Structure 1
């Protein structure tokens, strides 16, 4: 899969402020979300309530973190998948470090903030503001998505509010003096209900569900991206499919930063397809799973995507 040819993704743009308007306007927005989840697996939200200064400060403070000496960053290095704060690098044989990352558990905030980096000095304050705002927005969007599935807006709300929020910050250095495009993060889907993504510049690509081509996702000023995750695919009984995506490194002078907030349930909370979405015409397609199952899968080194391991084969029994 994949090609060196550039294709641009026409990402649906949804104005979240319209959810507060009259019933007819709200219904139109819910329908936009439904179609976006079904056909693209990704959409952009504007007028989402997060001040642009919070997003800009978060990108800047993480750029400053990745510019710190390696010995400071390596204090957070760990092979432990369960580590609440984890720094690392991904390397390619021909191209050195492909990217650096920092993963933070961020909810409950009070439980994890003292484990976060102390440098830069304002890191905890700025990222605390950012992660709390992203979590609040994720819960709001999840409610609208539940409505788009003809479920109650409060379906799983309590479980999502108690759930794990993990934030991944990725730093992709550019490839100076080259027209090459080199894969950074390889193709994958996210183990989340939804992923909320902020990116500083181009680099995200998604697999178009229609023509199966990789397409570049534009940077829309003031917007955040919403990606359908594995948990939403399971919950929707396959009505919404997790979006396959990757990141590339391109030539240029700027380092690309992305901040992704993954909204899941609690570590051992089993999520299954909503029973309202299971019937004779649409039998259950997935078995229940939880975040711990996913982390065990990752730690095992199994190459098969996790969501594929929880699919149920509804084939006739061979006589």
Structure 2
């Protein structure tokens, strides 16, 4: 099997957030760049985002320290409850000889005053350092969501209050080095995220996205100091299919070092139904999706169904004609 170096690289659009200031003459151009990125590839990188290198490095380091803890300590956080605000787990290599291929920690993070005290108490500085990063990522998500609303010709404040009240969940993944030669392993299987957007920080490369035109997997290069923004299922619903949730996965190759990723998923409140924006539905663009909420998604995941959740809320052409 080919190595990840044999996959084509996708040159993701790079958005300079410092140009999104209200008085910036470049703001309209940046909004157009965001529209093009969301519409064509479903992913873009952001620079000059305002989160300090110190906060980023401390978040990566404190998560590395967490995953380096003895397994017995981490197992205390294991849970099969989809609604548990703190959950640790592992995925094994299906062939068995690589052991644990990926460990993860999923954390509800907003409001931090409610969920922060439930986070791991070890390492002792985990809540402080990871908490700073999570709160900054949430502020960043709200800013980017406003720009994305504008890119859809909606008001920048469209859904703003609901997004501010919404659920933020942070998922940290630790991908172990693999030793087997000449074989790629799936670190995370292909999927899209149930979110409006996902903000992603990664310590090294490995992320791949499905390029929609050629229907091939493309590797995403690591852009130091940047975050990636991924279009999620909820944004596809909201935009009535103008933007498509990006299908992505993680590939691990022999010789790769441990890879850490921190993903912030921005959704609405648990029972807040999201439907396509009325302004984006007309005779030429009929409603393509039913309303859905986070509780619907979690219940579907808990049922063990394998079909992507987004497929269950798509309205077929037959239903549209009726």
**TM-score in terms of structure 1 length:** 0.96
Give the 5 Å matches for 1:1-319: 5-20=6-21, 22=23, 24-94=25-95, 95-176=98-179, 178-252=181-255, 254-315=257-318
The alignment partner of 2:76 has SS state of helix
The alignment partner of 1:231 has SS state of helix
Verify the 8 A CA contact 2:167 2:268 in the aligned structure 1: yes
The alignment partner of 2:222 has SS state of coil
The alignment partner of 1:76 has SS state of coil
Deviates more, 1:60-69 or 1:251-260: 251-260
The structural deviation recorded for 1:251 is 2.1
The structural deviation recorded for 1:98 is 1.8
The structural deviation recorded for 1:298 is 0.5
Distance 1:298 1:18 in 2: 39
Deviates more, 1:133-142 or 1:309-318: 309-318
Distance 1:301 1:3 in 2: 32
Distance 2:201 2:159 in 1: 25
The structural deviation recorded for 1:254 is 1.8
Verify the 8 A CA contact 2:173 2:260 in the aligned structure 1: yes
The structural deviation recorded for 1:316 is 7.1
Per the alignment, do residues 283 and 318 of structure 1 end up closer, same or farther by CA in structure 2, a change over 3 Å counting? Answer: closer
Distance 1:58 1:23 in 2: 31
Verify the 8 A CA contact 2:3 2:182 in the aligned structure 1: no
Verify the 8 A CA contact 1:3 1:213 in the aligned structure 2: no
Verify the 8 A CA contact 1:196 1:226 in the aligned structure 2: yes
The structural deviation recorded for 1:96 is 2.5
Verify the 8 A CA contact 1:3 1:214 in the aligned structure 2: no
Per the alignment, do residues 62 and 23 of structure 1 end up closer, same or farther by CA in structure 2, a change over 3 Å counting? Answer: closer
Q: Which runs of 5+ in 2 are unaligned?
A: none
The alignment partner of 1:187 has SS state of strand
The alignment partner of 2:236 has SS state of helix
Distance 1:118 1:178 in 2: 38
Distance 1:317 1:284 in 2: 8
